[in-house]
Amino acid sequence: MALVRLLCISLVTFTLFAALIPLRAQYTGTIILGRPEDTSIVANVMSPTAGTAYLEYGTQSNTYPNQTAVVNLSANTPQEITLTQLIANTRYYYKLRFTASGAKTSVPTSEYSFMTQRAPGSSFVFCTQGDSHPERNKSAFDSNLYIRTMSAAASDKPDFFVTLGDDFSVDTLTSYSQSTVWGRYTTQLPYLGILGTNTAIMLTNGNHEQAALYLYDNTPNNVAVWAQTGRNTFFSNPGPDHFYSGNPTLMNYMGPNQTPGLLRNYFAWTWGDALFVVIDFYWGSSVCVDSVLGGGAHANTDVWLVTLGQNQYQWLEQTLKNSNAKFKFVFAHHEMGTGRGGIECAKNYEWGGNDPTLGYIFPQKRPGWSMPIHQMFINYGVTAFFSGHDHAFVRQQLDGVTYQELPYAADPNYGLYNADAYDSGVIFPASGYARVTVNPTNVKIDYVRTYLHTDEGPGRVNGATVYSYTLLPRPNLASVSAVKNSIPNTK
């Protein structure tokens, strides 16, 4: 009895003592950096539990003289925390401090870091991936392989990471609602979060996202609205401001609480000696560009109806023409947002001006427009165009412009897809990503292959570079009064 009484007293004493200890709860959510600028950056924060959070930061590791305002976090609801008054061309170190609801003390995360806008003459790394397609689990996607791909990219310490679309595909959903469509975006958070704590994530729209004008009916409840607001809620893509240029048009229901808001679907920025440009055909075209929601026959047979739209076209031309950057990179899911092949597609329609049957008819099809998109690339010194869609690594060149196709990011089959769509070029199968190193005198592009541990062996090393090449600056011919169109007439 004495032993039982002693145990009871001890249990009561422990319970009372534990109640006096401040409650502490680790932060188990995600941090996804976005919109890096010269003097600011945004951290998109989401926690599975409610609480409050703030960021502490400084320019030296483990020294944080600055902190943001405290924000309230609702469970599973993203919240942007903006760091301002930063110094350009500077590495910052930070931690998030989280206080769970009901807790008395905050708990810090590990230390992370990021770069503000690089100065001209700097060397830096960015990475880019092709289609990840997590909805294709067990066919062309493996979760563990995607983790290995993201971890390998994170080890490169890139300033930012550009996705090329088809990362949030909604086509295979059995029902459509805001929650099901937004679920495609939350699925990516654990993966892109491997990078996103130290690297800004920049999103490109793909055909399977269904964030597209042909579905937009100017009502709040349609797939196009849910898809685009999902992108802009869980990730912090750029919109036009003092640092970024881009789409200035406010569209109904695209902002918080269904207010008018920016699409944030095309944008450009300068970083070091490079110009970066993301373009989007899906919000520019009133027709279905490629995949029809729900499957079925392709809704559009006239590819001339696929377009950037006049506003985006003019913005692209002025952005390329007026930039004095030594290197210029353009990103899209694919030329024209549809079709297979690289330079094989670059000669036709709005991109190249040719009609496969009628020859060069760009002036008739785009009256008042100065030139096809590929001709812009020639004239204004575009270094490389990066695309996805075809699920293979393919390097090609046309008129001095490099066309770089990226493969699946996490295909456990390591397949070589759509190779028959390419008549030339250096071709490798999946899976992996591209690491791009920008130096003052050149650009180095590496294809980094990734493998599951069980699939590694001779010649199959996870994170190894299997192909590299170097590009030099190209001339900007904007000052030349007339440049002969080098795209051949295919009539």
| pLDDT tier, 138 (very low <50, low <70, confident <90, very high otherwise) | confident
Contacts of 291 (CB under 8 A, 6+ apart): 171, 207, 208, 210
Q: Which has the closest alpha carbon to 42: 258, 278, 243?
A: 243
Average pLDDT over residues 317-342: 97
Q: Are strands 401-407 and 393-398 parallel, antiparallel or unpaired?
A: antiparallel
Is it the case that residue 369 has pLDDT exceeding 60? Answer: yes
Cα gap 125→112, rounded to integer Å: 17
Q: Which has the closest alpha carbon to 231: 32, 398, 475, 477?
A: 32
Is residue 117 within 8 Å of 88, Cβ to Cβ?
yes
pLDDT score, position 18: 33
Q: What is the CATH number of domain 124-471?
A: 3.60.21.10
Residues of the chain above pLDDT 70, percent:
91
The pair phi, psi for residue 289, each rounded to 5°, is -80, -40
Cα gap 199→192, rounded to integer Å: 9
pLDDT (tens digit per residue) in 233-270: 999 999 999 999 999 999 999 999 999 999 999 999 99
pLDDT score, position 477: 80
Range of weakest confidence among 29-33, 196-200, 435-439, 474-478 = 474-478
Backbone Cα Rg of the chain: 24
Is it the case that residue 22 has pLDDT exceeding 50? Answer: no
pLDDT (tens digit per residue) in 336-365: 999 999 999 999 999 999 999 999 999 999
Q: Which two tokens stand for residue 186?
A: 């939350």
Say which amino acid occupies 11.
L
Cα gap 173→177, rounded to integer Å: 10
pLDDT score, position 217: 96
Instruction: List Cβ<8 Å contacts ≥24 apart for 215-219.
Output: 215/293, 216/251, 218/252, 219/253
Average pLDDT over residues 431-454: 98
Say which amino acid occupies 365.
K
pLDDT score, position 402: 98
The pair phi, psi for residue 127, each rounded to 5°, is -125, 155
pLDDT score, position 301: 82
Range of weakest confidence among 136-150, 201-215, 435-449, 467-481 = 467-481
Q: Identify how many contiguous H helices and E strands the chain contains and give both numbers.
A: 8, 27
Cα gap 373→352, rounded to integer Å: 6
Q: What is the CATH number of domain 30-115?
A: 2.60.40.10
Cα gap 388→165, rounded to integer Å: 7
User: Which of the 8 DSSP states describes residue 101?
Assistant: T
What is the residue extent of each domain of the chain?
30-115, 124-471
Average pLDDT over residues 138-143: 95
For the chain, the average pLDDT equals 92
Is it the case that residue 271 has pLDDT exceeding 80? Answer: yes
pLDDT (tens digit per residue) in 388-410: 999 999 999 999 999 999 999 99
pLDDT score, position 24: 62
Cα gap 95→73, rounded to integer Å: 16
pLDDT (tens digit per residue) in 180-204: 999 999 999 999 999 999 999 999 9
Q: Which has the closest alpha carbon to 159: 120, 195, 130, 189?
A: 195
Which strands sit side by side in the sheet containing 401-407, from one edge to the other? 245-246, 267-271, 274-278, 327-331, 384-391, 401-407, 393-398, 426-428
Cα gap 184→198, rounded to integer Å: 23
pLDDT score, position 297: 62
The CA-to-CA distance between both ends of the chain, in Å, stands at 102
Q: Which two tokens stand for residue 370?
A: 């100065």
Omega of the bond leading into 431 within 30 degrees of 0 (cis): yes
Asked if domains 30-115 and 124-471 share a fold, the reply is no
pLDDT score, position 300: 74
Cα dihedral 284/298/423/437 (nearest 10): 40
Average pLDDT over residues 53-81: 98
Position of tokens 């881009």? 246
Cα gap 154→192, rounded to integer Å: 10
Cα gap 207→336, rounded to integer Å: 11
Q: Which has the closest alpha carbon to 343: 302, 389, 404?
A: 404
Is it the case that residue 123 has pLDDT exceeding 50? Answer: yes
Contacts of 133 (CB under 8 A, 6+ apart): 140, 141, 166, 167, 169, 208, 408
For residue 477, give Cα distances in angstroms to 99, 323, 487.
Answer: 56, 11, 16
Is it the case that residue 145 has pLDDT exceeding 90? Answer: yes
pLDDT score, position 94: 98
